[in-house]
Amino acid sequence: MTAEAIDRTAGETERTPLRRAVILGSITLAQTLYGMTFLMVAVVLPQIQGSLSATQDQISWVVTLNILATAIMTPVAGWLSAKFGWRNVMLFCMAGFTVVTVLCGMAQSLEALVFYRVLQGGLGAPITPIGNAVILDVYPKHQHGTATAIYGMGVVVGPIIGPIFGGALSEIYDWRASFWLIVPIAIVALGVLWLCLTDGGRDKRVRFDWTGFLALSVAVTCLQLILDRGNRADWFDSREIVVEAAIGGLAFYVFVVHSLTTRFPFLNPRHLRDRNYSVGLVIVFIYGMLNYTPMVLLPPMLKDLMDYPDSIIGFLIACRGAGAVVGFFLAIWVGKADPRIGLTLGFLLQALSGLLMMRFDINVTNAEIAVTSLLQGVSVGLIWVPLIVATFATLDRRFLSESTAVLHLLRNLGSSIFIAASVTVLIRSGQRSHAQLTEFITPFNEILKLPEAPSFWSIDNLTGLAAVGGEIDRQAAMIGYLNAFALFTLASLVVLPLIFLVRVPKDGGKA
C-alpha cells in the first residue's frame, strides 16, 4: 500500500458518520445560500431600479456581471483547492461571500451594488465545485448516491426558494432585506465549516496556467455579453455583438490550442479520455439548459399575461422545489440500480412537463401550472444524483476538484445559452405572430360582427381598437411562450440517446 493510500485510509477512519453528516449539512447549507442569490435578485430588480434611479440597460448589469464572475471563477476552483486546500478555500470564500452580501444590502449607488455583486459571484463560485468534490471524497463510493442527493437539494432548491423569500421580504420591508436574510444563516454555516471541515485536495504538482485562464475568461466574458445583450442589440446586426463574437472566438481558439500543447494546462483535456466523464459533461450541459429556463419564463408569463399576484406565482414556483425534494429521495432508491434508469426517467419527465406547457393557454389553471412545476422538480432530482455518480464513477479522485469545476462551469453556461435562446424564440415568434394576427382585424372580418364577440371588441372607435389590440398582444405573446416551451421539450428528448453511452461500473452501478 502506498503512503498516499495509507493517509487516505487513515483520514476516512477519522470521519465518523456524524462528522460526515455535519460536513454534508454545512456544505449543503452554504450551497443553498449561494444558490438563493441567483434568482432572488431578479425578483427585486424593479425595486432596486427605482431605488437607485437606474435605467433598464444599467440595472441588467446587477445580474449579468454576477453570472459572469461566477462563470469565470468556477474553473479556478480546481487550482485554488490544489494550492491552498479545500478547508482554506471554503472558509475564505464563505467568509467573503457573507461580508459582500452585507455590503450588497448597504449599497447606496448602482456602481457600488454592481461591484459587490461581482465579488459575490466570484467568491461564491468555488463553493459549488469544491463542495461537490469534498462530499465525493468524504463519503465512500457506495454512499455517493445518498450524499449527492442531499447536496443536490442545495444546488437546486436554493434558486427556487430565493425568489419566494426575497419577494416577500421586499414587499414587507425593501430590497435590502432580501440580502440581509442570508447573512445570519451564512454565519452559522461558516462556523460549522470551521469546526468540522478537514483539509484535503492539495496537489503540489498543479501549476497555474495564466495563459489558459485569461483566454478562457475572455471567451466566457464575451459569450455572456453576447447572450445578455444580443436580443436587445439585434444580434449580429450590431457591431458590438460582432466584435464580441470575434474576440471571444479568438480567445477560445487560443485556449483550446494552448490546452492541447502545454504541459500543465489550466483545464486538463486528458480527463476527457474517461468515457463516463466526457458523456457526463455533455449531459450536464443539457441539464443546465433545462434547469432554470422554466423559472425564468413562467413568472413573467403569469404576471404580464394573466395578472397573477406575486404570492401565487411564488407558491407555484415552490411546487418545483417540493418536487425536487421528492425527486432526490427517489433518486436514492433508483440509484441502487443502473444509473441510466434514473437519467432516462428524469429526462422523460422533463419532456412530459414540456408537452404539458405546450398546451397552456390564457385560461390555464393553477393546478395545471402546479403539476408541471412538480414534474420538473421531480425530474431534476432524478437526473442529478445518477448523473454525478455516473460521471465520476471511473475518474481518479485526485482530479475531483478540477473535474467538478468544469462540470459546474458547463452547467452554468448551458443555463445562460438556453435562457437567451428561449427568450429570443419568445420575442421573435411573438412579434411574427402579432403581425399575422393583425391581418384579421379588418372591416371585412365577419367574426367581429357576431353577437358572441365581446361588445368592447369594436373597430369602429378608438376604445374598441385598443381592446382588440391588447388582446392580440396577449395572444401573440402566449404563442411566443408556447414556442419557447416547444424548444424546451425538444432539448429534453435530444439528450436521451446520449444516456446509453454511459458505462455502468462493474460493481453493478453502486459506485
| 10 has a pLDDT exceeding 50 | no
What's the pLDDT at 156?
66
pLDDT band at residue 81 under the 50/70/90 scheme: confident
Reported as a single tens digit per residue, the pLDDT across 202-244 is 777 767 788 888 898 899 888 878 877 777 777 888 898 999 9
74 closest CA partner among 410, 400, 392, 398: 410
Cβ-proximal residues to 472 (8 Å cutoff; 6+ apart), any chain: 434, 437, 438, 441
- Which pLDDT score, from 0 to 100, does residue 440 have? 78
Q: Which tens digit of pLDDT belongs to each residue from 494-505? A: 999 999 888 876
Within this chain, domains 10-205 and 268-511 share the same CATH topology: yes
Q: Which helix (H) or strand (E) holds 362?
A: none
By percentage, how much of the chain surpasses pLDDT 90?
21
Tell me the CATH class for 268-511.
mainly alpha
Residue closest to 384 by CA, chosen among 290, 297, 304: 290
Confidence of residue 250 (pLDDT cuts 50, 70, 90): very high
Quick check: 310 pLDDT over 80? Answer: no
Q: What is the pLDDT of residue 5?
A: 45
Residue 416: half-sphere exposure toward Cβ, Cα within 13 Å: 26
Distance CA 138, CA 77 (A): 18
For residues 155 and 176, what is the distance between their CA atoms, to the nearest angstrom? 24
Cell of 231: 436580443
Q: What pLDDT score was predicted for residue 2?
A: 42
Q: Is the pLDDT of residue 4 over 50?
A: no
Instruction: Specify burial of residue 409 (Cβ count, 10 A radius: 0-12, 13-18, 19+).
Output: buried
pLDDT, residue 60, reads 67
CA distance 382 to 341: 9
**Beta-carbon contacts of residue 130 (< 8 Å; ≥ 6 apart):** 77, 80, 81, 86, 89, 90, 93, 201, 401, 404
Instruction: Check the CA dihedral 206-209-215-221 and report its sign.
Output: positive
Q: DSSP labels for 192-204?
A: HHHHHPPP----T
Q: Is the pLDDT of residue 132 over 90?
A: no
pLDDT at 235: 81
Write the pLDDT tens digit of every residue in 383-421: 888 888 888 878 877 777 678 778 878 887 888 788 878
What is the per-residue pLDDT for 461? 67
> Is residue 357 scored above 70 in pLDDT?
yes
| Entry pTM | 0.77
- Using 50, 70 and 90 to split pLDDT, how confident is the model at 507? low
**Residue 403: what pLDDT?**
80
pLDDT grade for 485, boundaries at 50, 70 and 90: very high
- Does residue 16 come out as left (phi exceeding 0), alpha (psi in the -120 to 50 range) or beta? beta
pLDDT at 8: 46
Domain spans, the chain: 10-205, 209-265, 268-511
Top pLDDT among 55 and 394 is at 394
Could you read off the pLDDT of 84-117 as tens digits, one per residue? Answer: 888 899 999 999 999 999 999 898 888 899 899 9
Residue among 448, 291, 462, 453 at smallest CA distance from 383 = 291
Highest mean pLDDT among 17-26, 36-45, 104-113, 135-144: 104-113
Residue 264 DSSP SS3: coil
Distances (CA, A) of 132 to 20, 180, 186, 306: 13, 26, 18, 40
Q: Any idea which architecture 10-205 has in CATH?
A: Up-down Bundle (1.20)
CA 301 to chain centre: 20
